[in-house]
Structure 1
Amino acid sequence: MTSKSSRKSIVANFGLLSAELENRLSSDAPAVPQQPAPASRVGAGVIGAAHRAIDDIKSERDRLKALVESGGGAIRELDPSKIDPSPFPDRLPDDLASDFETFRNSIRSEGQKVPIQVRKSPLSPDRYQVIYGHRRLQAARDLGIPVRAIEVEISDVELVIAQGIENADRQDLTWIERALFARRMDDAGVKPRDIKASLSIDDPELARMRAVYRAVPADVIEAIGRAAKVGRPRWAEFAKAFSEQAGLHAELRRVLAAAREKRLGSDQKFLAAFNALKPAAPSHKPGLKILGAAGEPLGTVLRTAKDIRISAETPAGTEFLRFVEAELPTLAERFTHEKSKI
């Protein structure tokens, strides 16, 4: 088999993914016998049709990967400057530059072992878009060397499914990175069933992601970063606080800007942002002392914007409280009378 014909085979098979997914999701009966999927791959609540669709796509991707590794795929060397990011970014910046430096040095010393995957850019005929392999592409850019790549013909829907499955296999995306990936697909009009297939999630998990990314603007999430130690429950609490504390949004952005200047890690940025959404505790100002005619202490009065509180400190003060309580109807009547004169 020639390289050209093998590449066409890869392209053709990738082109079948979206149609296969739609057919499987619209059918009640499985087309082929299925093996139980590993529990770590798919959420417990995913319906049977989604299980079959995702498993079929993974099997197809694995078959194509084996074909490439056996030498049947056409691997080319491309100029990294002619390759644009995926239209659906799935990663936030790494906290530790040293991690990427180690990765880049391994490519410098050992070469690029695994090719990236690209497609022709829909926006420019002489450019490409990366499907997956963003870190390998960036390393090649930094090193000033060509990047080894496989070109396939693939639609947007097929791209996000392939990209999502590749990410699921790596299992190193944080919860918020996966949610942000879902948001970008949602904004681009990708159907919910394809978003779920791409991320191997079910309806409830997509709903939880939407509750967060529809409440919290993308620029705030990107300013916080990967937040590797922050899971869904804390992000859900953050989204709720963000929705309820609109008056603190400016302060939150100021705090994030300061955190960036201090080069804080993303987990620390999340904590700082969350604390910025907590309303200030009411100040405990000392109350005004109430004294009798002879200077004897009767109590303390503390007034806030919405209430007034009198506390007794002596037996005479207790009697004073009873007096005030008895006088309240008269005071209310006087208040109404005085207000009517205005």
Structure 2
Amino acid sequence: MNKRPTGKSILQNFGAFSDPAPDVGSDRPGDGSKSLAPQPLPRVGAGVIGATQRSLSELREERDRLRAMVDAGGGAELDPMLIDPSPFPDRLPDDSSADFESLKALISEEGQKVPIQVRHHPGAKGRYQVVYGHRRWRAASELGIKVKAIILDLSDSELVVAQGIENAARQDLSWIERSLFAWRMDQAGIKARDIRAALSIDDPELARLRAVTKVLPTDVIEAIGRAPKAGRPRWIALASAVDDDKSALARIRKTLSADKVLDLPSDERFKSVLAAVKKPVERTRSELELKSPKGRVVGKATFSAGDIKFSVSSGHAQAFGAFLEEELPGLMERFFAREGDV
């Protein structure tokens, strides 16, 4: 990885595209108008300022310069084939390609309004790496057109801070994507202060993000997916369950190997995985009364080791038997789906 010891801070460069200038427009689907009102500057955490040692006035001046460059048609048009993704992936695949297809159609019809940012590839002369704007880069590649880009000279630390600021402006990374992003930065030797700056978090939150990826292998997380509705508490609960029961990881992998589970949206895959690691509640009794909707006892179910018995009153026995015979195949299918043995 490129670790240039000195150079401009990334905060000199990020602002123009985290918060696009009013007359530049947007590539986002549904944004057909151009706002004429002044746009507020994005909030930048104290950790970011400390990590980059740049004053706000300097950042604003550089932001204005980059905006003017975009307004004047500055930057470059690059062949997408000369560009590689960021060495620090911060996203998992979307559950649906609809949003991307809408973006691609918009760029095809109206052109790319907001340039992406790239840096010179530290290990391949003449090539570039995306700082941010992966979806616009991919759309241009699939459309067979050049991509508008601003080319920067950035170290690895500056690159990840830039990605973090852009994502914070959009606020659309799920919690587990942030956890994976932190893990990848750790693996690349990025300093903790730069990781905190990139994600705009404090030490306790960084510790929580690290705790989950310490227990859950990356291939398992990637198989589950973004799971945007499964926030921090549920991911921590999943990691804790796996940490307490080492056999749980095998159950998770078995669950995720089932086609029916893989075809589910990521939030539903997460639910299936969480159900697979939960220990069954120990029964405190061996008999269960069977009651009608009005509360009348019509029989009982008896549970013992390796044995389950039903006894139903004579008035309902024949009909209940036929009903149970009809419903049992579906009940067994649901049971094995929950156990991950489909």
Q: TM-score range by the shorter chain?
A: 0.5 to 0.7
Identify the residue that residue 107 of structure 1 maps to in structure 2.
107
Q: Does 1:15 align with 2:12?
A: no
Mapped partners of 1:142, 1:19: distance in 2: 31
Structure 1 residue aligned with 2:140: 140
| Distance across 2 between alignment mates of 1:85 and 1:78 | 14
Whether the 8 Å CA contact 2:175–2:232 is kept in 1: the answer is yes
Corresponding residue for residue 171 of structure 1: 171
Shift of 1:58: 9.3
Q: Which residue of 1 aligns with 2:181?
A: 181
Q: Give the C-alpha shift of residue 206 in structure 1.
A: 0.6
Residues 49 and 55 in structure 2, CA contact (< 8 A), matched pair in contact too: no
Distance 1:163 1:110 in 2: 26
SS in 1 for 2:239: helix
For residue 112 of structure 1, give the secondary structure of its aligned residue in structure 2.
coil
Residue 40 of structure 1 and its aligned partner are, at CA, apart by: 7.7
The offset of 1:141, in angstroms, is 1.2
Q: 1:99 to 1:161 in 2, by over 3 A?
A: same
Corresponding position of 2:244: 244
Q: CA deviation at 1:53?
A: 2.5
The whole-number CA distance in structure 1 between the counterparts of 2:64 and 2:44 is: 20
Aligned residue runs from structure 1 range 206-217, under 5 A: 206-217=206-217
* Contact preservation (8 Å) 1:162, 1:198: yes
Which of these two proteins has the greater Rg computed from alpha carbons?
1
Task: Write the distance in 2 (CA, Å) between the matches of 1:216 and 1:179.
Answer: 11
Q: How far is 1:279 from its partner?
A: 3.0
From the superposition, tell whether residues 15 and 177 of structure 1 become closer, same or farther in structure 2 (CA, over 3 Å): same
The residue that corresponds to 2:98 in the other structure is 98
Q: Tell me how far 1:224 sits from its aligned partner.
A: 1.0
In the aligned structure 1, how far is the partner of 2:90 from the partner of 2:163?
9
Distance in 2 (CA, whole Å) between partners of 1:186 and 1:57 is 24
- Listed as ranges, the matches of 1:179-328 within 5 Å are 179-258=179-258, 262-281=262-281
Aligned equivalents of 1:110, 1:39: Cα separation in 2: 27
CA contact under 8 A between 2:48 and 2:198: conserved in structure 1? Answer: no
Instruction: Go from structure 1 to structure 2 and tell me whether the alpha carbon gap of 1:81 and 1:133 turns closer, same or farther (over 3 Å shift).
Output: same
Aligned residue for 1:69? 67
The structure with the greater share of residues assigned to helix is 1
Q: Do the aligned partners of 2:11 and 2:162 also contact (CA within 8 Å) in 1?
A: no
After superposition, the C-alpha distances for 1:193-219 in whole angstroms (9 at most, x for unaligned) are: 111011111111111111111111111
Q: What do residues 252-294 of structure 1 show as CA deviations (whole Å, max 9, x unaligned)? A: 112113257652111001111111112345689979xxxxxxx
Q: Which residue of 1 aligns with 2:157?
A: 157
Q: What is aligned with 2:83?
A: 83
Q: Provide the C-alpha distance between the structure 2 equivalents of 1:16 and 1:244, rounded to a whole number of angstroms.
A: 46
Change (3 A) 1:259 1:285: farther
Q: Specify every segment of 5 or more residues in structure 2 that has no aligned partner in the other structure, as ranges.
A: 1-5, 13-40, 288-301, 307-342
Task: Please tell me the residue identity of whatever aligns with 1:15.
Answer: G
The AA in structure 1 aligned to 2:279 is P
For residue 150 of structure 1, give the secondary structure of its aligned residue in structure 2. strand
1: CA distance, partners of 2:200 / 2:154: 20
How many residue pairs get matched?
256
